[in-house]
Amino acid sequence: VTENRSDLEDLHLYATPREQRFRRFASLEFEGQLYMTPYDFIQAVTSDEPKRKQEFSNAKTARENELNQILMETPPVWKGSSKLFRNLNEKGVISYTEYLFLLCILTKPHAGFRIAFNMFDTDGNEMVDKKEFLVLQEIFRKKNEKREKRGDEEKRAMLRLQLYGYHTSTNSVLKTEGEDLVSRSYWDTLRRSTSQALFSDLAERADDMSSSLSDTTLLVHFFGKKGKAELNFEDFYRFMDNLQTEVLEIEFLSYSNGMNTISEEDFAHILLRYTNVENTSSYLENMRCSIPEEKGITFEEFRSFFQFLNNLEDFTIAMQMYNFASRSIGQDEFKRAVYVATGVKLSPHLVNTVFKIFDVDRDDQLSYKEFIGIMKDRLNRGFR
């Protein structure tokens, strides 16, 4: 990328919020395309801003031999762990569409992992190959182009080169007035679009892309250094579960200071961190008064709560049934609704802590407004 710094900053005006966040954290550039390292990705989902000062024009330019050396050190999928991204650190490359895919993983229930796998497995042979996985690139690219801000086409083309590594024409895909008015998540787009891929040019396009796009850490991790391996569901499930666990471990450890627990107040801070709650101090003060003696939240309790949050849609249905019956919900009802709707068992202490945080009127009952709305914000982690 030879444009000067002001040109690159100007591109930020044409980027969507997710594109802006990716550009802010991405620290590597190869042949004009921006990439995140595993370290960058972890920072992007656990921090408000990059720890190191980065400007759009300061992404490190990698040479082909350097990129190849990085990818040579990528472990195969059967050697994956919940420390994969931390172990790789700077030795990895993640494209923009893979960034979107990884964000989808972080907010999905385990039951959704099978749906995700089946969406990629377009020929139904219980294995996903590299070509099938690359359909993801086309689905997300097409969705992104529908969201593009109208304006300077030259600047948009420069931005597409940064994010996708190639120029595209948006004339045929930009939505027209009144078309596609419903804003859909990338997960919904995947779910709706992969069936279409069987009857469109997406799979053929992905085949062409596989020979022109550079390999990435995920592609090598899933499909081997030669790209000939196939991914089975067990390995796919393990990767997704490990990624969720890794991000939660990083958040937990940032507060635990080497201890086996975090305080109830720290737990409240983490829950409220990515929400639209303006006055968090009132929630924290409410909890301090209600739980004067600190007992602590273990990592297993912490993890179980976020597994529950990833099933929030199912739980919301159960909560609405209480609303229809004009019943408020106490701690026992809350625990039962969580288990029935999601299969997750929350400890009595964890449930009590949640109630003390969100039970603003202190009636030991939790309303839909007091909890669901705020937690939907937290589930999105500011990714909308």
pLDDT value for 221: 96
Contacts of 324 (CB under 8 A, 6+ apart): none
Report d(CA 90, CA 185) in Å as an integer.
29
Whether 213 and 333 share a structural domain? no
pLDDT tens column, 333-342: 889 888 888 8
Question: Looking at the domain assignment, is residue 149 inside a domain?
Answer: yes
5, pLDDT greater than 70: no
Report d(CA 314, CA 253) in Å as an integer.
29
3-class SS of residue 261: strand
8, pLDDT greater than 80: no
Question: Looking at the domain assignment, is residue 157 inside a domain?
Answer: yes
Whether 232 and 289 share a structural domain? no
Question: Looking at the domain assignment, is residue 250 inside a domain?
Answer: no
Question: What is the phi/psi pair of residue 232, to 5°?
Answer: -95, 170
Contact status, residue 223 vs residue 231, Cβ threshold 8 Å: yes
Contacts of 43 (CB under 8 A, 6+ apart): 25, 50, 51
Report d(CA 341, CA 344) in Å as an integer.
8
Tokens of 325: 């019956």
Whether 289 and 369 share a structural domain? yes
Whether 176 and 304 share a structural domain? no
pLDDT value for 376: 72
Question: Looking at the domain assignment, is residue 248 inside a domain?
Answer: no
Contact status, residue 352 vs residue 296, Cβ threshold 8 Å: no
Can you tell me the mean pLDDT for 189-200? 53
Question: Looking at the domain assignment, is residue 294 inside a domain?
Answer: yes
Show the CA angle centred on residue 324, arms to residues 319 and 328, nearest 5°: 55
Contact status, residue 90 vs residue 37, Cβ threshold 8 Å: yes
Question: Looking at the domain assignment, is residue 251 inside a domain?
Answer: no
Whether 266 and 187 share a structural domain? no
Whether 280 and 153 share a structural domain? no
Whether 168 and 20 share a structural domain? yes
Can you tell me the mean pLDDT for 44-58? 71
Distances (CA, A) of 369 to 100, 156, 346, 360, 374: 29, 40, 21, 11, 8
> Which of 285-289, 298-302, 342-346 has the least mean pLDDT?
285-289
pLDDT value for 149: 57
pLDDT tens column, 218-252: 999 999 999 999 999 999 999 999 999 999 999 99
Q: Running DSSP on this structure, what letter comes out for residue 56?
A: G
- Residue 72: which domain range? 5-240
Question: Looking at the domain assignment, is residue 341 inside a domain?
Answer: yes
Contact status, residue 174 vs residue 232, Cβ threshold 8 Å: no
Contacts of 260 (CB under 8 A, 6+ apart): 296, 298, 299
Where are any strands of DSSP class E within 282-376? 297-298
Domain boundary among 206, 240, 274: 240
| Of residues 202 and 279, more confidently modeled | 279
pLDDT value for 89: 94
Can you tell me the mean pLDDT for 172-195? 49
pLDDT value for 333: 85
Tokens of 218: 């995920």
Distances (CA, A) of 181 to 146, 184, 194: 11, 9, 20
Whether 206 and 273 share a structural domain? no
In terms of Cα–Cα distance, which of 178, 176, 184, 189 is closest to 150?
Answer: 176
Whether 177 and 312 share a structural domain? no
Can you tell me the mean pLDDT for 174-187? 46
Can you tell me the mean pLDDT for 353-361? 83
Report d(CA 278, CA 316) in Å as an integer.
23
What pLDDT band is residue 53 in, cutting at 50, 70 and 90?
A: low
95, pLDDT greater than 70: yes
Whether 91 and 121 share a structural domain? yes
Question: Looking at the domain assignment, is residue 117 inside a domain?
Answer: yes
Domain count, the chain: 2
pLDDT value for 273: 78
Whether 171 and 30 share a structural domain? yes
pLDDT value for 38: 96
| Of residues 221 and 132, more confidently modeled | 221
Strands 261-262 vs 297-298: parallel, antiparallel or unpaired? antiparallel
Tokens of 237: 């499930």
Can you tell me the mean pLDDT for 254-272? 90
3-class SS of residue 291: coil
pLDDT value for 174: 33
What is the pTM (predicted TM-score) of this model?
Answer: 0.82
pLDDT tens column, 141-179: 777 666 665 556 777 788 888 888 864 444 333 333 334
Whether 225 and 134 share a structural domain? yes
At 265, the amino acid letter reads E
Tokens of 25: 């954290």
303, pLDDT greater than 60: yes
pLDDT tens column, 28-41: 988 889 999 999 99
pLDDT value for 234: 94
pLDDT value for 32: 85
pLDDT value for 173: 35
Please give the share of the chain, as a percent, with pLDDT higher than 90: 30
Please give the span between the terminal C-alpha atoms of the chain, in angstroms, as a whole number: 28
